[in-house]
Amino acid sequence: MKIVLTGSAGRIGHTIAVQLLVEGHQVTGIDLAGARIAHAHYHHVQCSFEQAGMLNDAVKGADVLLHIGAMMSWHPKDNAAMFHANVTATQRLLDAARAAGVKRFVFASSGEVYPEVRAQFQPVTEDHPRNPVSFYGLTKKLAEDLVLFYQQQGLETVILRFPHTQSIDELLDPESFFSGPRFFLDGKIRQMRSFGNDIVADKLQTVRDRLGGPAMIVQYGEDDNLPYQMHIADVRDTADGVILAMTHPRAANGIYNLGTDEPVAFEDMLPLMAQATELPLIDVQMPGKAVRFKTSNQKIKRELGYQPRFTFPDMIAQAARLTVNRNNTKESV
């Protein structure tokens, strides 16, 4: 098949593109960044979602359009740009797909549309009300509504609500956009500063000063004194789910939670991560209630046969080996 893939230079998009090429498909990647793949059956279009003409040309002749690219931010200053990147761009791509006669449009949405952190019931299933509280979640909800509207007009679509997704090469990286503020004290301090929450940042900085160095953290909610718990999927499993939704006949016009079987309990997994990084592990209290949720992936497993391959302990073990190999390479240079 000829497949158009947005966000092809990102973590998830790149993983999808590589797998599609292994399976023998022709892939046209669209991304603001340059190409990361050199392959006879891969064509890269470097452009923004604002360049409608280039988008239309890229989609011509495609069998499937996988719309994975998006902008993610929790800063109000980014709201206008995020609306254009996540909502306006989705409409442009839907128009291009319909005009080109694309057979299936697969859209990467997010659990932020519910949102899972304020779930009305658990486990969170696909029929949970959509009441986003972040602007990012709102853009995904609006984009979903666009996809459903075009579906009513005859375009075959699939909506996948992604979990938090990480790759093993970033999992133990304290500078990672995702791992940094989630697992590392320094990353959490930087995040709180960027959000303008200096009270929490100062409190955490005092902890760091007392320790005299970096550390990994198990986050607890101040209001309930419970540790954080959330789903974290391996990028390879998320890519598998996208490709399955692209090809499975029963996926047509469906909506699916794409994620892991069980959430990650931070109090159980952080000791393994701290052992791998050789950093001390401490508990920190964060304002409000703990982030704790469980999302159901039973529908996509039941209807499409989806099965995640990597548990979080698997990811930690592979990330640790990767880190050791990198350090050995640096020492030998």
Indicate whether 114 and 195 sit together in one domain.
Answer: no
Task: Return the HEC string of the chain.
Answer: CEEEEECCCCHHHHHHHHHHHHCCCEEEEEECCCCCCCCCCEEEEECCCCCHHHHHHHHCCCCEEEECCCCCCCCHHHHHHHHHHHHHHHHHHHHHHHHHCCCEEEEEEEHHHCCHHHCCCCCECCCCCCCCCCHHHHHHHHHHHHHHHHHHCCCCEEEEEECEEECHHHHCCCCCCCHHHHHEHHHHHHHHHHCCCHHHHHHHHHHHHHHCCCCEEEEEECCCCCECEECEEEHHHHHHHHHHHHHCHHHCCCEEECCCCCCEEHHHHHHHHHHHHCCCEEEEEECCCCCECCECCHHHHHHHCCCCCCCHHHHHHHHHHHHHHHHHHHHHC
Is the same domain home to 106 and 174?
A: no
> Which pLDDT does position 333 carry in this prediction?
43
Last residue of one domain, picked from the residues 162, 186, 209: 162
What are φ and ψ of residue 294, in 5° steps? -130, 125
CATH code, domain with 317: 3.90.25.60
Write phi, then psi, for 299 (nearest 5 degrees).
Answer: -65, -45
Regarding whether 179 and 116 lie in a shared domain, the answer is no
65 and 205 share a domain? no
Residue after which a domain boundary falls, among 162, 179, 200: 162
pLDDT of 52: 87
Do residue 6 and residue 137 come from a single domain? yes
User: Are 10 and 133 within one domain?
Assistant: yes
Q: Same domain for 184 and 269?
A: yes
Q: What is d(CA 64, CA 161) in angstroms, rounded to the nearest whole number?
A: 18
| Boundary-marking domain end, from 111, 145, 162 | 162
Domain extent at residue 210 = 168-229+263-292+313-332
- Mean pLDDT taken over the chain: 96
In a domain, 277, yes or no: yes
Mean pLDDT by 10 residues, the chain (333 residues): 97 97 98 94 94 93 98 94 97 97 99 97 98 98 99 98 96 95 97 94 97 96 96 98 98 98 97 96 96 98 98 97 73 48
Q: Residue 257: inside a domain, yes or no?
A: no
**pTM (two decimals):** 0.95
Q: Are residues 72 and 203 in the same domain?
A: no
For residue 51, the domain's CATH number is 3.40.50.720
Residues 156, 179 within the same domain: no
- Residue 174 φ/ψ region, left for φ over 0, alpha for ψ in the -120 to 50 degree band, beta for the rest: alpha
Q: Are residues 172 and 83 in the same domain?
A: no
Task: Examine the domain organization and report whether 80 and 195 are in the same domain.
Answer: no
56 and 156 belong to one structural domain: yes
Residue 301 lies in a domain: no
